[in-house]
Amino acid sequence: MMKILVSALEPSSNLHLKESLKHIKDVEIKGIFEKSLGEPLLDISEFSVMGFIDILPKIYKAKIAIKEMAKLSKECDIVLLIDAPAFNIPLAKEIKKQNPNIQINYYILPKTWAWKQKRAKVVREYCDNLLSIFPFEDKFYENPIYVGNPLLDMITTYNTSSLKNGNIALLAGSRKSEIKSLMPLFRELKNSLNKNYTIVIPPFFSD
């Protein structure tokens, strides 16, 4: 049975991980992911942060997690990092330091085309396979592998009539801290609009 070290820190990353696992047989995952997928090393809720103030208490914990994950990689066959470059790039460096022969795969690459373009060379240096979800990322990364966009795979039909009914979707974000921070602004915006609106909050937040 193949053992994969997974680093999926965010709810959105876990949605993509679940879909990916449907296409892989006889696999055991270790690392950081949702408890619904197995027994993770750490709960992903410990990494759900937004902004500098949120990150400060997490820095020490993240450093410990990186060391533990790199050590755990020695029990695995390959590594799969999903999104979250602030954590996964340092993790890739530490894994290559402790376990230089293991294959590291990075899925959903850092958006270097939007900011911090220097990250592209760092990711290429420490990761063996770059699994891209945007076809144009070959302009920013060396030899990425385009695997398609998971969001497009989830959309089976597209109803253009919804563009004509005046509805507006207010997308509040995917992190609790993000939603709480932005909600006053969304309420103010909602009150200023004379149209139908929907505030979209991820289903994994029950409260």
> What Å distances lie between residue 138 and 40, 78, 132, 144, CA to CA?
33, 24, 8, 6
In the beta sheet, which residues pair with residue 129? Answer: 105
User: Mind listing the pLDDT tens digit of every residue in the chain (207 residues)?
Assistant: 999 999 999 888 998 899 889 888 899 999 999 999 999 998 887 776 555 445 555 788 889 999 999 999 999 999 999 999 989 999 999 999 999 999 999 999 998 876 777 889 999 999 999 999 999 998 999 999 999 887 776 665 555 555 566 667 777 676 677 777 778 887 887 778 776 666 666 665 555
Domains of the chain: 2-154 (3.40.50.11930), 160-200 (no CATH)
The most distant pair of C-alpha atoms in the chain lies apart, rounded to whole Å, by 59
Query: What pLDDT is stored for residue 161 in this prediction?
Result: 57
Query: What pLDDT is stored for residue 53 in this prediction?
Result: 45
How would you list the strands of the sheet with 78-82, edge to edge? 27-32, 2-7, 78-82, 103-107, 129-132, 145-146
Query: What pLDDT is stored for residue 52 in this prediction?
Result: 45
